Amino acid sequence: MTKPAPILFPKDFLWGCATSAYQIEGSPLADGAGPSVWHRFSHTPGRVQDGDTADVTCDHYRRWESDVDLMHSLGLNSYRFSIAWGRVLPEGTGRINAAGLDFYERLVDRLLSRGIQPMVTLFHWDLPAALDDRGGWLNRDIAQWFAEYADVMFRRLDDRVNYWTTLNEPWVVADGGYMHGVLAPGHRNIFEAPRAAHHLMMAHGAAVQAYRATGRNKIGLVVNIEPKYAASQSDADCAATRRAEAYMNRQYLEPALLGSYPEELHEVFGEAWPQWPAADLRLIKQPLDYIGVNYYTRAVVRSDPTSWPLKATTVKQKQHTHMETGWEVYPQGLVDTLLWIKDQYGNPPVYITENGACFFDPPQVEGPVLEDPLRVDYLRKHITAVHTAMQRGADIRGYFAWSLFDNFEWAFGFSKRFGIVHMNYETLKRTLKSSAHFYSKVIASNGAALTE
Ligand code: GBH
């Protein structure tokens, strides 16, 4: 058999890992930080699996220096992390907590000193609890609260941070936090979910507007995209697929990039879908420098009148591997997603801001390397998928593996592991998995190691 042609990425391609503040930092109330809705939620019995909280998690808040050295040793040229809003503004607005700002400044400086480009997310779900007490994402004023916080960050760090992200996955916040109640703040209300989603997008727009006044680099939005494929060509299944796709994927991209919401949302939310002021949509649609895509899985969709609220259900594809979270492994879905964005939205610059897999790792964690062949296979196929989409013309600028470490996996607590570095939650020892070694080789060879 002839060897496949080597895969090569552009020289300036960003190769990184992604994390988020609440998931890895620990010490959530240290040095004057205000609590977040996730601190409250995880401390409410019954909300997170096994009663886990992120009070310690990876202890990155205290181990950040050696963690940056670890990233450097893997050869990462970029690192995507988020700022805990409540460390910087304990009440969400108003008084600035210097110690919180200093923490992120030191982190950025160390990353730069090791040749690692920071990509900074302003909001990865840990809303200050003080703002939740004022209505949180249900209060329209949050757009200005968020812009105020964003402006504090821009003024302090835009001289060193080249890549900013307003929100991580607004869909997850609206769907998990306000529609189904499985994530913070734990509401289950079909009238609230569209409002939370709309205010998230207004906050995004207001922050981008603030950035144009002071910032000189790049700012974008990160969305989770899960392509939807109809289980059959029946009218009912096709309509269900369009609803699912409008609800999860287009509800965020279309207002941000086109300035309108998908028609199908009327069907999805019924009378709970309001008529939004045109001025709101003008605020939401701001010119962006890039789109961040988080891709994990796809869904094959069938019409199901009993399923609330979409009247659509996912058909399990038994022939394919599934992660421990139950998500199907489907690399072609990433090719399809990237080409879909290219075709639908005028080929904007795209970063894969998260991609990764949850598998139980074998128990031998004391040796030098922990073997995780399923994760290696997942990364190999998905990074190859990125390259395939680029060859077909998609403008992809970088790739971030989720995640650097095993960490606090939201409502799953510590029961689900996505890291390329294993975390021992007793000793906090970091152990490389074979996926970390593999990813390191891919980076060092700029892709060539994918076909070895
Ligand atoms: C990301 O969200 C988050 O940004 C990150 O913080 C998190 O740790 C990481 O993923 C891993 O979970 O049940 O088959 O219908 C993930 C977004 C949206 C991906 C819901 C899976 C459900 C698939 N997720 N989706 S299914």
Query: For 185-235, how does the pLDDT look when each residue is reduced to its tens digit (9 = 90+)?
Result: 999 999 999 999 999 999 999 999 999 999 999 999 999 999 999 999 999
Residue 184 CA from chain centroid, whole number:
16
**Region 400-426: what's the mean pLDDT?**
98
Ligand 1 neighbour 82 (Cβ under 6 A): no
Q: pLDDT at residue 345 above 60? A: yes
**Region 156-183: what's the mean pLDDT?**
98
pLDDT band of residue 452 (cuts 50, 70, 90) is confident
Distance, in Å, from the CA atom of 61 to the CA atom of 27, rounded to the nearest integer, reads 7
pLDDT value at residue 364: 56
Q: Output the CA 114–ligand 1 centroid distance in Å.
A: 30
Q: Output the CA 177–ligand 1 centroid distance in Å.
A: 13
Tens of pLDDT, residues 49-99: 999 999 999 999 999 999 999 999 999 999 999 999 999 999 999 999 999
Q: Judge contact between 413 and 52, C-beta under 8 A.
A: yes
Protein residue with its CA nearest to atom 22 in ligand 1: 327
Burial of 48 (0-12, 13-18, 19+ CB in 10 A): buried
pLDDT value at residue 5: 81
User: Which stretches of 235-372 are DSSP H helices?
Assistant: 235-245, 251-257, 264-269, 278-284, 332-344
Question: Which residues does 12 contact at the CB level (< 8 Å), separation at least 6?
Answer: none
Protein residue with its CA nearest to atom 20 in ligand 1: 172
**Region 415-419: what's the mean pLDDT?**
97
Q: What angle do CA 278, 282, 284 make, to 5 degrees?
A: 115
Domains belonging to the chain, first-starting first, are: 14-451 (3.20.20.80)
**Region 237-263: what's the mean pLDDT?**
98
Tens of pLDDT, residues 351-385: 999 999 999 877 655 667 799 999 999 999 999 99
Tens of pLDDT, residues 257-287: 999 999 999 999 999 999 999 999 999 999 9
From 402, 404, 407, the mutation candidate for ligand 1 (largest count of ligand atoms within 8 A of CB) is 402
Residue with tokens 């994990």: 296
- The model's pTM: 0.98
CB atoms within 10 A of CB 254: 22
The helix/strand count (H/E) of the chain reads as 16, 13
Ligand 1 neighbour 314 (Cβ under 6 A): yes
Task: Give me the active site residues, please.
Answer: 169, 354
Average pLDDT value over all residues in the chain: 97
pLDDT value at residue 1: 59
Q: Output the CA 414–ligand 1 centroid distance in Å.
A: 15
Q: Judge contact between 338 and 389, C-beta under 8 A.
A: yes
Distance, in Å, from the CA atom of 404 to the CA atom of 118, rounded to the nearest integer, reads 14
* Antiparallel, parallel or unpaired: β 290-294 and 350-354: parallel
